[in-house]
Structure 1
Amino acid sequence: MASERDPSASRPLSELVEELLAHEGPLPIVTAGDPVLRRPAEPFAGQLDPGLLTRFVAALRATMHAAPGVGLAAPQVGVPLRIAVIEDPAPVSEEVRVVRGRVPQPFRVLVNPSYEGVGAGRAVFFEGCLSVPGWQAVVARHAEVRLTALDERGRAIDEVFTGWPARIVQHETDHLDGMLYLDRAELRSLSSNQEMADRWTQPTPAEAAAVLGFALPD
């Protein structure tokens, strides 16, 4: 219910998570319009005990796989905590791998992540979101980022990501700041999944830009 997903509610987050985990199957993914997606998430500071955190992370991973997606942030299941998971088997062609820098990423848990751009390089590609189902749009993002975070055991992460993994890191961390990819998107590029399949399967969005009438950043 909407009130249970409201970060301003006084209900302990551990109770919310326990209730979510009481149901079998993937967790329900909230969609654009739910306030939890538009408010900065709380830094994780032990709101979930270690056992509950482990179970919640496992549920996030299962939900990400079922969607399917390559990342999922806690607010996307209605839990306003700075926790996200990422994993990408990268089942793409060699051409796409080279152009987009999409390479396999192992499963990772990001707790209290933040990122900063490395250098001036930008990467511009279509992007979608499990919380904005049915649509994709072109987003310009840092081509390389430095991520700092903790893992699920509290160990420090300080790593540089490039290519598609950098895009995933930025997308999921943005969720924790109350941002959707549409906030950064070229809206003239907005395309349904059907149009994407029919028209815009090229490795880059150059043809879409020419036909739909938007400029790609230099």
Structure 2
Amino acid sequence: MTTYKSSQDWIAGIASQGVVTIGDPRLKAPTAAVDVIGEVEALLDEMVARLRALNGAGLAAPQIGASVKAVVVEVRKTDVFPDRPEHPLTQMVNPVILRHSEELVTDWEGCFSVPGLMGLVPRHQHIQVSYLDESGNTVTNDFHGYAARVVQHEVDHLAGVEFLNRMPSMDSITTVANYLTHHRP
């Protein structure tokens, strides 16, 4: 588990991984569907490496400057979220959310592209997603709980949507340091 001495160290780690941050037009640019999985194999490998270096749960291609429909998700326990349920590495190309539960759960989210800030975001508790896996196979998968939250967050990036856009109120926005001190369960 990676531990940072301060939120400034965490932000420096994000910058060192070349993550595109809020305000950069690449985060809002349209993303293209991938026709041939071989076109993004190296990109997926790079995304997994950066996700793990940052000790995160998800990363979308636009966050590293690539305007294609690709996301990687791997939920592991971290110092910020030590109790979250784990989910194995899932690489998704051209993901489409087919169905979602009516039930919404509001919880804290952060984002590498919005470094140092967190906010309360409502998300569907369960979703069903169709995508191409890293081998080019069409997969339909169900995601629940925290994994569903991460997938929705990353798929939003493919449409130029940041978690801040999903917050019903900016009243809950806080720094990572304040989250750790005052809001973490």
TM-score range, shorter chain: 0.7 to 0.9
* 1:167 maps onto 2:157 in alignment: no
Alignment partner, residue 190 of structure 1: 173
1:91 deviates by 4.8
Distance 2:128 2:44 in 1: 23
Q: Deviations over 1:7-54 (max 9, x none)?
A: xxxxxxxxxxxxxxxxxxx741000011111123111123xx72x633
* 1:76 maps onto 2:59 in alignment: no
Cα root mean square deviation, aligned: 2.1
Among candidates 33, 52, 57, match of residue 43 of structure 1: 33
Gaps of 5+ in 1: 1-25, 203-218
* 1:200 maps onto 2:183 in alignment: yes
Query: How high is the TM-score relative to the length of structure 1?
Result: 0.72
3-state secondary structure, aligned to 1:170 = helix
Distance 2:86 2:181 in 1: 26
* 1:31 maps onto 2:31 in alignment: no
1:138 corresponds to which letter in structure 2? L
Q: Please tell me whether the aligned partners of residues 74 and 90 of structure 2 are also in contact (alpha carbons under 8 angstroms).
A: yes
Distance 2:182 2:148 in 1: 26
Q: Which has the larger radius of gyration?
A: 1
Query: How high is the TM-score relative to the length of structure 2?
Result: 0.84
Q: Please tell me whether the aligned partners of residues 27 and 59 of structure 1 are also in contact (alpha carbons under 8 angstroms).
A: no
Residues 116, 138 of structure 1: CA spacing in aligned structure 2 closer, same or farther, 3 A cutoff? farther
Gaps of 5+ in 2: 1-15
Distance 2:128 2:19 in 1: 28
Q: Please tell me whether the aligned partners of residues 111 and 149 of structure 1 are also in contact (alpha carbons under 8 angstroms).
A: yes
Distance 1:168 1:63 in 2: 16
3-state secondary structure, aligned to 1:179 = coil
Q: Deviations over 1:42-88 (max 9, x none)?
A: 11123xx72x6332211111111112211111100011000111111
Give aligned-pair identity as a percent.
32
Q: Please tell me whether the aligned partners of residues 144 and 161 of structure 1 are also in contact (alpha carbons under 8 angstroms).
A: yes
Task: Spell out the pairing of 1:4-153 with structure 2 (5 A cutoff).
Answer: 27-46=17-36, 50=38, 53-91=40-78, 97=83, 102-153=84-135
- 1 or 2 for the larger relative contact order (CA 8 Å, sep ≥6)? 2
Among candidates 160, 163, 175, match of residue 181 of structure 1: 163
Distance 2:182 2:71 in 1: 32
